[in-house]
Structure 1
Amino acid sequence: MIIDLNCDLGESFGAYTIGQDEEMMKYVSSVNIACGFHAGDPLVMAQTVEQALKHDLNIGAHPGLPDLQGFGRRSIHITPREAYALVQYQVGALQAMVTAQKGKLTHVKPHGALYNMAAKDRDLALAIAKSVCDIDESLVLFGLSGSELTKAGTETGLKVAHEVFADRTYQSDGSLTPRSLHDAVLHDADRVEEQVLRMVERQEVMTVTGDVISIQADTICLHGDNVEGVRLAKRLREKLV
């Protein structure tokens, strides 16, 4: 069994540093790099690509909504046509930086509100999947396990990775608990480990209401901006190995 451990990185901006990128890179196998819309800037993008190549990691683009102040976590109504364009714009920018450093972009994972919107909105999901496919049909599309986004990716002809979250809680419909609720993020290492092992070994997760739902775990996400991120990543990698 091979399980990919991914992390959203490159989310610093100008004088503001977010996360511990280089430390996280020691324990994950894939990184999703912010592309300037919700976080990141050209210099941060280039530096994060350089670090990821040094650690021999899979490099993915992490396009989000144009919302620096809200970190891309606020829902903004956009049309499928707008989604197509903004994803292509951001992925293209990161792809250029990866290519310039003699690397290869491997995957795309939408960020935050865009990710959650596409998990439920078929038209938006199809627009995102088509945008990725038109750039490079060999790119892998990351999406919430069992969501409209993974369905759209498969329908478009892309290889998809069903993503699960180590440090987030789940609703009974398989969606992530909104961050506006107090129990959206897990901080206890034991609970995180228990949830991850259950998802990997039994392909299921317990929701906040106590229901148990089926889930497909191709890749596991840890958040770089979680204050416990590095410690959790180290512990999870050791446990999974």
Structure 2
Amino acid sequence: MSDRLIIERWGENSAPWIRAVREGRIESRALVTDTAIIETIMQRDPATVLDIGCGEGWLARALTARGVDVLGIDVIPSLVESARAAGGGRFAKISQEEFADGAVSECFDVCVCNFSLFGDEVVRRLMARMSVSLKPGGAFIAQTMHPCASGGGVDYRDGWREGTWAGIDVEFSDPAPWYFRTLQAWVSLCGDTGLRIVALQETIHPETRQLLSLIIVGEPERASTHPNSAS
């Protein structure tokens, strides 16, 4: 398992993923998590947002409709093309590795990763970049599967896991692997990458009352040295 395999598998599954998102085939998103991430972002009253791992662009469209200037980036060409065709934001083919290396020169009020942090070391590098990618007072917001509900029936410890398309009634090929982190690991990772956690939110299925996702809101501990940080 590796970050590279994640990209390969998502490329293979981009078409059914677009269908699943646009047809509302993912129950947890339709019921809870889509609204949760939009509300968490809008609580910051942002003028600009960077959507990292934007997929087919649904979140960018939702935020643009609320008056936010959104740049969405993703490594999968077919997803970026689909997002551009649908409109409602600016989109670019940029990988998380390229972002971490400085491929995006703008600064933003919010940088968001909505169910797009699948890797290991690349996630650490991406989060460390927030100190120069966020404007003063800006926030990093990440929504991920809740660690206490997504362990996959194995030991509760960090490590690579097999992916699954369970709960989505669309035909996919092999799922992408992902790197599981415990709740403590997420907290530690924020500290290690210079982010001070200002909020932890949990979403719950309205019928089963089971945990669905964890939303982390962090602010850089260090002042940004980006040349455009005050713009």
Q: TM-score normalized by structure 1? A: 0.35
Higher strand share: 2
Greater RCO (Cα-Cα under 8 Å, separation 6 or more): 2
